[in-house]
Amino acid sequence: MFHRPKPPRTAAPFPRRRQLQRSTIRCMPVTMKDIARDLGVSVVTISKVLRNHDDISEETRKRVLARVKELNYRPNLAARGLVTGHTYLIGLVVPDLLHPFFAEVAKSLSRVLLKKGYYLIISSSEEDEELEAREIDQLLGRSLDALVIASSCLTRDILRGIEEHGTPYVLIDRRFAGTPANYVGVDDEAVGVLATEHLIEMGCRRIAHLRGPENSPGVERLKGYRDTMAKHNLPILPNYVSEQRTVDVQSRESGAESMRQLLALKPRPDGVFCYNDPMAMGAINSILESGLKVPEDIAVIGSGNIHYAPLLRVPLSSIDQHTEEIGERAARLALALVEAKTPPRPKSIVLQPSLVVRASSSKTRIKPRTQEK
């Protein structure tokens, strides 16, 4: 009798399907609902913890954050945006990402935004008006909740497109005359007055100014310098004000070149007020390379009080613009605009600068001078 061989035994298909099903479940992204269900709290509570709301108890916050970390949960910002109408993104446009002033503003701005669950996208215009317009268009295309701008433009034309788009914005450092807009910055005319008064008090009489561009800080700091020289009946000698140029990009090189031109003058200046700290650093390098001393031969003061100014070869005197506060106040103002139900009236926040004296202009190191013939 012929017996048909039995087929080899194979694993039942159902367990395999269950294994595949379990694997598929493990690969599905974790949601806020999953976390809320695990912890026995509402989805709203999870959302508030992730956005750093202050009406959640510390115990609940720790439980939620621990579970979020354990599950490697990442919020779906696109989905959240569809529900809330917000992208939780704020754009920052500055002339130069490497400039210490703007880097410090960005740091403090981001720190405040993160506490409220917002994230910062940074773009550089390189002091180029056309590039700035393109960068702003790209950011607007991302449907950002707000923009913070240190504009390289000399007219307000760049703002029209933003206003037509309906995106709230805050200007920092630079503003446009006669334009009501949300703004955070320093009193730039007072910067010029403080710096020039200090050099005069140190005994300087032939004071030059390495000026900035034709934007509001450049124009107002120049005015403060001119008015203070006039107040003390001190002449501004020919060529003692450097030519206007783009200075927030390659500032140090600009300051070095302008200082070399001043050193060739007869008489040369005995004090120099620089538009910003990197320009002052370049100026000091040129003075030292020429064999002269700072501040004994030429006293130098900058503006910005960058964080490494005390560590320079000659520690730099500067006008403190309260950079960190500019970033913090701009962030809070931007958040207020985003959360407002109706557009509020434009708010201008102008901080008062302060003098920081170091070795580059220190009174104890400057001997009384007589007028050079």
Rounded mean pLDDT of 48-75?
A: 85
35 in a structural domain: no
Q: Write the DSSP symbol of residue 233.
A: T
Highest mean pLDDT among 36-40, 159-163, 273-277: 273-277
Q: Are residues 154 and 107 in the same domain?
A: yes
Which residue range forms the structural domain that includes residue 314?
A: 188-320+355-365
42 in a structural domain: no
- The pLDDT tens digits of the residues spanning 247-304 come to 666 789 999 999 999 999 999 999 999 999 999 999 999 999 999 999 999 999 999 9
202 in a structural domain: yes
Angle made by CA atoms 311, 314, 315, in degrees to the nearest 5: 45
Q: Are residues 90 and 214 in the same domain?
A: no
Q: Are residues 334 and 278 in the same domain?
A: no
Measuring CA to CA, which residue among 257, 259, 200, 248 is closest to residue 224? 200
Q: Are residues 253 and 306 in the same domain?
A: yes
**24 pLDDT above the threshold of 50:** no
State the total domains in the chain. 2
Q: Are residues 243 and 146 in the same domain?
A: no
**96 pLDDT above the threshold of 50:** yes
- Tell me the three state secondary structure of residue 83: helix
Highest mean pLDDT among 82-86, 203-207, 248-252: 203-207
- The pLDDT tens digits of the residues spanning 210-239 come to 999 999 999 999 999 999 999 999 999 999
What integer pLDDT is reported at residue 29 of this predicted model? Answer: 78
Could you give the CA distance from residue 178 to residue 168 in angstroms, rounded to a whole number?
A: 19
Could you give the CA distance from residue 308 to residue 367 in angstroms, rounded to a whole number?
A: 27
- Tell me the three state secondary structure of residue 28: coil
**2 pLDDT above the threshold of 60:** no
